[in-house]
Amino acid sequence: MKSLFNASLLFLFISLMACPVFGQIDQIFGIEVVPNTVEGSPIRSVVILLEKDGKEYLADSLEIKAFYDAFNIKPGSIFRQFSVDLAISVFLKQEEIKSASYKVYTPEISGPVVLVIRSSFWTEEEDKKIVAKKSLPFPSLIETEKSKLTLILNGAIGLYHDQNAFFSKGAEFTQGNPVANNPAGIGPRFWGESFLEPGIAGITKLGKTKIFPYGAVTFLVSGRNSSDIYSEGTALKGTIERLYGGILLPQLGKKQQLHIDLSAGGQFFQLNDGFLFSRFSGSANAGERGSVFLNSRTAYQMTAWAKVHWKKFNFSAFYLEPQELFKDRQSDTRYLGGGISYNDNRRLDLGLHYITIHSSKSTYATPNDRIPLEGLQTINPKVWVNNIAGKGFFIKSEYAFQRNSNADMVANAWYLGGGLVKQTWKKSPSLYYRFAFMQGDDPTTTRFERFDILQGGGLGNWIQGINFKKIIGDGNLLTHRIEVKAYLAKNMELSFDYFFLSADSKSNLGSLAPISTLQDKNFGQEFTTTYRYFFKRNFLFLGLFSWAKPGKAISSSFESNVYDWLTFQASTFMFF
């Protein structure tokens, strides 16, 4: 391993001294986040910045390959904080290196991350002075080129105000919901939520082998101070959040291009940008957990995950068990899946996954009978093309085909989005349009055709209206989304989203009772403003305002008036 690092670093050092022909970089990659908060997220791209004469430059393709070989951290793989931490520790041991560090950015709230690695080299004129070892910053306890042990301390506090929640029909929309003992209706509902998550995590190398066992455990306490839009009164709940272990096997094979990561336990999981599986859908936060808006719990109850990275390809297999709210009402839904993806870190990000519901007690309501979730199979190809013609244009699309081996069920869903990102412009503006189709059932046929979003949604890309999401779900849904986004500063993002939502079919069985049969297909519109401000390195302020206006599909389902639904949210997060 050491010879590989030395060869890679020597190549980089010579290239830098030869005054390479790449331009100075000055762009925004997204909002910086603390690494432990995006553990398990897909890596969308890796950016390597080299310092020369006090200025930063973007590494060219040959230098990026050298870094890949040394770090073994590549686009398309899963972000593991310890993998990057150890790579940086080993990297800093090389005598040519003056400094090295990394940061993680999220261009979208729940999307894949961008990993930015910064490095500088000693010049011929500089003395390679031995710098005194600095004390480890909090929360690190131990950090060497073979091991790391760190504390985890996350938390948040938020204030929330909803006006006319559920379009003033809370009692009707929440009938049968076991946590809705005091649903909001016409008028205001104001409350606060908070959580604290302490824990510890570590990784180490076993002797002279290439085996790195790792693991983490955290305990999360969450609560609210008064009634939220579902439940009455205060709430306080403490449970184990993360509890997992794994093994990293890096740089295997003759050319050391094979990287294996095996893990199991309560941990985060996300597929692509959350279309079918979102990290924010892995757990439950309502009722006695008192975190319905902070969404503090996101780890799946069980995630067994095998990942193999070879060159620009990633292979994965996974078993997922979501964490459900009530122990005596478990659906015992289990997912099995796997797939292959390709990412060249320049233009193409391709993937193909297969997922099946291995077991479940739940059923779908159909016009004739109930059919089981167990046996549902989903095939999910993905095509993302970035920076088309070098002008900042991009296209994103996924398709999902579903069938059920235990019932006559076939359904389809897809989305196609495109836009423009100008990272080199002032404020780094972007424009994005997306149309998403999720099939509804045709009651005139014997086949059931309503699409099941699986564990998609959560926050960010696939919430499809932060208010509407709470009543219409994602099956039988057509959405137009327009997003305009800009960075007021490198750590400050402002975005505006517009959603127009309608049904594919007037037969809406599987949705909430008041809208199970529709008189009209127009659900309505929603306007959302989101503000993210990352400050003091370990704190994030998230402000949100959303205005949902009901369409005829909602208003015609009630004899009395429905009213616009407004939500105001202000949350401050702490991450260590």
Map out the domains of the chain as residue ranges.
Answer: 2-126, 148-575
Look up residue 41 and give its two tokens.
Answer: 């997220």
Banded model confidence at residue 11, pLDDT cuts 50, 70, 90? very low
Indicate the burial class of 92 (C-beta count within 10 angstroms; 0-12, 13-18, 19 or more): middle
pLDDT at 80 over 70: yes
pLDDT for residue 63:
57
Whole-number percent of the chain with pLDDT over 90 = 60
What CATH architecture is 148-575? Answer: Beta Barrel (2.40)
pLDDT at 20 over 70: no
Nearest-5° angle of CA 456, CA 457, CA 461?
115
pLDDT tens-digit map of 352-396: 999 999 999 999 989 888 999 999 999 999 999 988 988 889 999
Rounded to whole angstroms, the Cα distance separating 464 from 242 reads 28
Per the DSSP assignment, residues forming a β-bridge with 249 are 260
- What DSSP letter does each residue of 151-177 carry, written as one string? EEEEEEEEEEEEESGGGG-HHHHTTT-
The stretch 179-187 carries a mean pLDDT of 95
Rounded to whole angstroms, the Cα distance separating 48 from 116 reads 6
Rounded to whole angstroms, the Cα distance separating 263 from 221 reads 25
- 2-126 against 148-575: fold identical: no
Q: Does the pTM exceed 0.95?
A: no
Whether the CB-CB separation of 280 and 455 falls below 8 Å is answered with: no
Phi-psi region of 167 (alpha: psi -120 to 50; beta: other; left: phi over 0): left
What Å distances lie between residue 209 and 53, 220, 252, 259, 406, CA to CA? 39, 35, 11, 14, 47
The stretch 449-474 carries a mean pLDDT of 88
Instruction: Report the length, in residues, of the chain.
Output: 576
Rounded to whole angstroms, the Cα distance separating 456 from 463 reads 8
Q: Which amino acid is at 70?
A: A
Rounded to whole angstroms, the Cα distance separating 118 from 112 reads 20
E-strand stretches of 288-347: 302-310, 313-321, 334-343
Q: Which CATH topology does 2-126 take?
A: Ubiquitin-like (UB roll) (3.10.20)
Banded model confidence at residue 260, pLDDT cuts 50, 70, 90? very high
The residue among 241 and 105 whose pLDDT is bigger is: 241
